[in-house]
Amino acid sequence: MTPDTTKNLLSPLLFCIIGAATLLTTGCMQSKDHLRLNADGSGRWTYRVTLGPQLAAALAGGESVGGGPETMTVAGVKAAAKQTKGITLKTCEEKREGNSQTLTVDLTFDSIAELANSPFAEQLGWELKSEKGQLVVYSPGGPFGDEDDDNVNFGFSGMKPFLIGLKLDRIVTLPNPITSTNAHAKKAAAAKWGFAVDADTSEAEMKKMSGMRPRVACAMKGVTMKLPVKLKKAEKTADASFNFGGGGGGQEHAPTPASKSAKGIVLQPIHAVVHREQHYVPTNILSMGAPLKLTFSCTWPSGISPAGYSSLTVEKARDNKGTDLVRKEEDSFYKPNELRDLSVDSDKKNIARMDVNLGAPARDATAFSASGYLNLHVPKRVVPVKIRNPEKYVGKQLQGKELAPLGVTLKAYSNGRVELSSKSDLGAIQEIRVESADGSSRSESWGSNSSSFGGRHKKSVHLKNNREIQDPVLVLVVAEGIEKQRVDFKFNNLKLP
């Protein structure tokens, strides 16, 4: 979904959350904001956003929830306040409360027009106008986006599970007593709207909330601010890619030197992508989030079989304008410059692609450098553990000398999915597949996901053609005696797209 300022407060983030299939439980998000307006256009604005355990866990595990407002992080808020004329940041703090995470922001502004034309625009979500002698403050979009937005029309049964636990409160205080409003509650000059979704929310109630366009008006007495006030529009996005050595489209460049270890492990940058999402940011910066993705190719001798949780860490990265490209932990819920999973080529078993997200280069930068190290986890031996009648072991800890030390529980087994859980790191399990008892047919993974939350590690895979296998046997390929093979790298003058 392309973010659009015609959507209210958090709607861009809400429907990116809908796209994350792991968030099928309650407590996804709660938000409250309060805009206090003075007659001259100055005022105060506060907002508080709490991400529930499931969303916080998804972000902590590196899962993408798409592009919500950049003012959803401490670093983003501070940068936005610094860019915006007349902003005084009184409070900006992030706290963990149990497994949830809360961002609290309190600021004053000299001009609502400046605020609406700043990086805070998408988070603010209010526009102002003069209509029939009244000052009108309104939201051009509903709490869940525009009526013609595909996500709003996602369907009640499909949408509801993702929104259970959502609570959204909005308050506006005007410079004069309220003359008209569609608010759920009002008192003197203050209007309040409340939106909440729980297990009992009906389809009719959902449609009513989706169709709500918050609006409040007061007399123009004493009002001197310039009207109308419109929200800044998000700019269009475009991707540019660059291949170091050709292949796969995009611009091409001469092959880059590779780093090679004594044992024949080779690491080489092969591709870079810049996501040019000028999303309420100054002209000399590309965007929020992870605008630069660097792809490495890692190859190893045929006698080596790396374990899944190898890691690649970028320690230093800088463009030719001096911009530090290593993303700081305060900008993210997880270590953004470290990759843990290997994506091994299905045809060539001795090659893997590794993607690392870096920070925003300067707009006029033309090249960058990156240095760090690869830790390739190489086992001394690999043992396939076969489990017959796997459906009988769902919810139980798996036994056997290879699995017992890992404390692995089979959480789910179905025609298309297998999920494992343990208090230990599951990186030693290199492969999960299902095959027939005689070994004549097998169903391999076409996608996998690993996460850690609340002291538990999970690994799940989606399997191909599992239904066609008769008398299925679950096979877990376990790596034992893992050693780390380190490859240091330093690549200079990598061209930016």
Higher pLDDT, 428 or 256: 428
Rg (CA), the chain: 26
Q: Which two tokens stand for residue 381?
A: 């031996």
| 1.10.10, 2.60.40, 3.30.2010, 1.10.3470: CATH of 237-376+485-495 | 2.60.40
Q: What is the pLDDT of residues 5-63, one digit of tens each?
A: 223 334 434 433 333 333 333 346 788 999 999 999 999 999 998 877 655 554 444 33
Alpha helices in 3-66, H assignment, sequence order: 11-18, 53-60
Say how many C-beta atoms besides its own lie within 10 A of residue 189's C-beta: 16
The winner for highest mean pLDDT among 157-161, 199-203, 274-278, 384-388 is 384-388
Give Cβ neighbours of residue 171 (< 8 Å, ≥ 6 apart): 32, 33, 34, 35, 190, 191, 192, 193
Q: Which two tokens stand for residue 111?
A: 């001009």
Dihedral (C-alpha) 106, 111, 116, 120: value to the nearest 10 degrees?
Answer: -30
Q: Compute the distance between CA of residue 45 and CA of residue 61 in angstroms, rounded to an integer.
A: 32
Q: What is the pLDDT of residues 282-302, one digit of tens each?
A: 333 333 345 788 888 888 887
Q: Report whether 299 contacts 353 (CB < 8 A).
A: no
Say how many Å lie between the first and final Cα of the chain, rounded.
24
> Residue 201: is it exposed, middle or buried by C-beta count within 10 angstroms (0-12/13-18/19+)?
middle
Q: What is the pLDDT of residues 295-348, one digit of tens each?
A: 888 888 877 777 656 778 888 999 999 999 887 644 433 344 454 556 665 555
For residue 243, the model assigns a pLDDT of: 56
For residue 53, the model assigns a pLDDT of: 62
Q: How far is CA 300 from CA 338, 351, 376, 377, in A?
A: 20, 7, 10, 12
* Percentages of the chain per state (helix, strand, coil), in multiples of 5: 15, 45, 40
Q: Compute the distance between CA of residue 49 and CA of residue 64 in angstroms, rounded to an integer.
A: 18
The crossing angle, in degrees rounded to 10, of helices 156-163 and 203-211 is: 80
3-state secondary structure of 235: coil
Decide the pairing of beta strands 409-413 and 472-480: unpaired
Lowest mean pLDDT among 42-51, 87-96, 256-265: 256-265
Q: Compute the distance between CA of residue 221 and CA of residue 162 in angstroms, rounded to an integer.
A: 44
DSSP string spanning 290-316?
--EEEEEEEE--TT----TT-EEEEEE
Q: Where are the domains of the chain?
A: 11-219, 237-376+485-495, 381-480
